[in-house]
A and B are shown apart, each in its own frame.
Chain A
Amino acid sequence: QVQLQESGPGLVKPSETLSLTCTVSGDSIKSHYWNWIRQPPGKGLEWIGYMFDSRSPSYNPSLRSRVTISIDTSKNQFSLKLTSVTAADTAVYYCAREGIVAAASLDYWGQGTLVTVSS
């Protein structure tokens, strides 16, 4: 059974770096595209970016200058770093797997973690 679990600080100060990790179980992290999505409180979903194995990641242009996604195959984890955060980055952050059979769609999601940007 595929499971994803986000972890990281729930509170980040303005101008600092948000760092989250997604631990994948029940699947190899080498086999899929792994995505980050966020959802500000009470709002809709925004795709942040994805990565596949050692290939170059793809990012949302609106965040590209501040975001880095990386993969640690030894730990079956992938990570998100978002620099210079502001209150507008307050959101629930989800990690998600892009399917193979369910191609170009997100078939498994983590439960999400709320990150609040505040001093």
Chain B
Amino acid sequence: DIQMTQSPSSVSASVGDRVTITCRASQGLGSWVAWYQQKPGEAPKLLIYAVSNLQSGVPSRFSGSGSGTDFTLTISSLQPEDFAIYYCQQANGFPYTFGQGTKLEIK
């Protein structure tokens, strides 16, 4: 299986901050990396697909980048509704795998 390791596991930040979450794959990936946001009691919500494509309806403060084994999700200016858990996911190899999650908390 392709392991996806996210860092940090948790981060505290303030409204207006810029935050970057990293996902490192255990082997090189192509373009099939996605990012999700999950709030308590809710299903995950797709934010970014194919490394850097913004899902329809997602605010432009979210962006994704990366290649090879290293991928990042950046939130340019945190809003109150952004405090949640974020997961990366790869679909380059079976089984699909997710990172362990990054919890974004209010400072």
A-side interface residues toward B, CB under 8 Å? 35, 44-47, 49, 58-62, 94, 96, 99, 102-107, 109-112
Contacts and interface: CB of A to CB of B under 8 A. Distances in A.
29 contacts: A35-B96, A44-B98, A44-B99, A44-B100, A44-B101, A45-B87, A45-B101, A49-B95, A59-B95, A61-B94, A61-B95, A62-B95, A94-B43, A99-B46, A102-B34, A102-B46, A102-B49, A102-B50, A102-B53, A103-B50, A104-B34, A105-B32, A105-B49, A106-B34, A106-B44, A106-B46, A107-B49, A109-B43, A109-B45
Contacts of A112: 43
Residues of A contacting B: mostly = strand
B interface, size bucket: 20 to 34
B32 to A, nearest CB: 4
A88 B98 CA distance: 18
A85 B96 CA distance: 22
Interface of B: 1, 32, 34, 36, 42-46, 49-50, 53, 55, 87, 89, 91-92, 94-101
A44 B91 contact: no
Nearest to A110: B43
Given A45-B98, A47-B98, A105-B49, 16 more contacts: A35-B96, A44-B100, A45-B44, A45-B87, A102-B53, A103-B49, A104-B50, A104-B91, A104-B92, A105-B55, A106-B34, A106-B44, A109-B43, A109-B44, A109-B45, A112-B43
